[in-house]
Amino acid sequence: MKRFILVHFIFLLAINLAESRKIVDHPSVSEAVKLLEIWLEAQRDYEGLPGLSAAVVHDQKIIWSGGFGYANPDKRVKATSETVHSICSISKLFTSIAIMQLRDQGKLRLDDPVSKHLAWFEIDNLYSEKGEATVQSLLTHSSGLPRESDFPYWSPPDFPFPSSKSIKEKISSQETLYPADTYFQYSNLGLTLAGEIVAKVSGTDFDTYIENNIIKPLGLEDTRTVMPKKLYGKQLAVGHSARNRNGERPQVELFHAQGIGPAAGFSSTVDDLAKFASWQFRLLENGGNEIINANTLREMHRVHFLDEDWQPAWGLGFSVWRDDDKKFIGHGGSCPGYRSQLLIQSNNKVATVFMTNASGVNSRMFAQQVYKIFSPALKDANSEDEIKSLKPEFEKYLGHYSEAPWGGETAVISWEGELAMVGLPTTSPVKGITKLKYIEDGTFRRIRDDDELGEEIIFETDNSGKVIRMWQHQNFAPKFR
């Protein structure tokens, strides 16, 4: 019987791998991968990022993951999908899941006052007649609490994060900012308190609880509740600041979030966060209990608080937003020297992860654009429609053409089985694609947005047949890659 089960498992695994391979090798997905790699590499160079990593998940499978640049530029340690970064506020998702685990076990209620579980929570409530902070309001950032504990831990150069003991001692000297359940105020203090509730209610320290009840069961081998100092400059990327006026990104000292850990202290990789997203797709599809109940995860994904102007929207721990009339959930992270973003689109079962070892970067933009590159391609891969590939004789035109001194460059790519152009750098790679129609050898015409034909695009070759220039509007751009 055991032999039968093992053989059956191997058979199912083989089918799963074959299906995954089939999707990855689909012409539309192959084009998406190529555009993604071209775009990420260019954006890294033009924005002066030391390194970056990204991953794409579709229906529980990692479709693509990789890295560009360096985790440690000084030592030439390359960035990969296994490079560890601070994920900062994405830590809040793990803390929120821990709260919901304890809620499902009947050990707390979401409408419990924070003071019920934390006897030392004696903040000066300026609006006591309007109620007090609850567990749920911590997860939705509507507790009325100030953004931070009263310490300057976001200040360089040493980022003096307080201990849990210091936070507890200082809380009585702080006061509420708003009445509870009235306004949105993003609060690291609030999720720090949620972490303290996890420790108090579970009877174990926060780090141990998260490791034993979330990280290990999900098989997240490179996710930690701390920044692993022993890996710094090797697998753990070295953080860098936002660009200064000289165009430089100086290194940032390694920080340790200490007592603020439940809100901002975790580290991980894009591969691990891809697994984290895959678990959510799996739970939503299969139902039942894995870490938490499937309906609990759905509850966390729903909007539980909207500010007066309907922005932002917040679930239980999860940020919720709309883009192109689609609902996205996830969370971003911004800590000294690092930016990150987890994006999940449940209906299409697509998730993207982005991390970089630099501050001052729009990480959600990166994750959103990765989604826009892959979503239509994955839809094609799951359809019965026949998708054509680029003709082999057009491949010689692919590459990069310099637009200096007017701009960066034009990348000639394959898109929807045809030759196309996209200007780099760009924050909208798919929107910036211009398709070309073949006319005759070396000559194409731009296809306008109304599908009419525009000007000629002519590729010039040398005597050996190598493409050397691209002509448009009677001027040329030299090919350099």
Overall fold of domain 389-481: Lipocalin (2.40.128)
Backbone angles phi, psi at 371, to 5 degrees: -60, -45
pLDDT given at position 102 = 98
∠ CA(250), CA(254), CA(256), 5° rounding?
145
pLDDT given at position 24 = 86
Q: How many helices (H) and strands (E) does the chain have?
A: 12, 21
pTM > 0.85: yes
Cα dihedral 442→448→450→452 (10° resolution): -40
State the Cα–Cα distance between residues 448 and 455, nearest whole angstrom: 9
Residues of each domain in the chain carrying CATH 2.40.128.600:
389-481
State the Cα–Cα distance between residues 427 and 421, nearest whole angstrom: 15
Structure tokens belonging to residue 12:
């199912």
Q: What is the pLDDT along the chain (481 residues), one digit of tens a residue?
A: 445 444 443 444 444 444 555 788 899 999 999 999 999 999 999 999 999 999 999 999 999 999 999 999 999 999 999 999 999 999 999 999 999 999 999 999 999 999 999 999 999 999 999 999 999 999 999 999 999 999 999 999 999 999 999 999 999 999 999 999 999 999 999 999 999 999 999 999 999 999 999 999 999 999 999 999 999 999 999 999 999 999 999 999 999 999 999 999 999 999 999 999 999 999 999 999 999 999 999 999 999 999 988 889 999 999 999 999 999 999 999 999 999 999 999 999 999 999 999 999 999 999 999 999 999 999 988 887 777 899 999 999 999 999 999 999 999 999 999 999 999 999 999 999 999 999 999 999 999 999 999 999 999 999 999 999 999 999 999 999 9
State the Cα–Cα distance between residues 407 and 113, nearest whole angstrom: 56
Residue tagged 């987890």 (tokens)? 342
Q: State whether residue 459 is helix, strand or coil.
A: strand
Please name the CATH architecture into which domain 85-377 falls.
3-Layer(aba) Sandwich (3.40)
Q: Is residue 109 within 8 Å of residue 276, measured between CB atoms?
A: no
Q: Which residues pair with 332 in a beta bridge?
A: 341
State the Cα–Cα distance between residues 194 and 439, nearest whole angstrom: 64
Question: Which of 39, 23, 49, 143 has its CA nearest to residue 359?
Answer: 49
Residues of each domain in the chain carrying CATH 3.40.710.10:
85-377
Structure tokens belonging to residue 155:
């200040």
Q: Is residue 93 within 8 Å of residue 318, measured between CB atoms?
A: yes
pLDDT given at position 15 = 41
Residue 293 one-letter amino acid: N
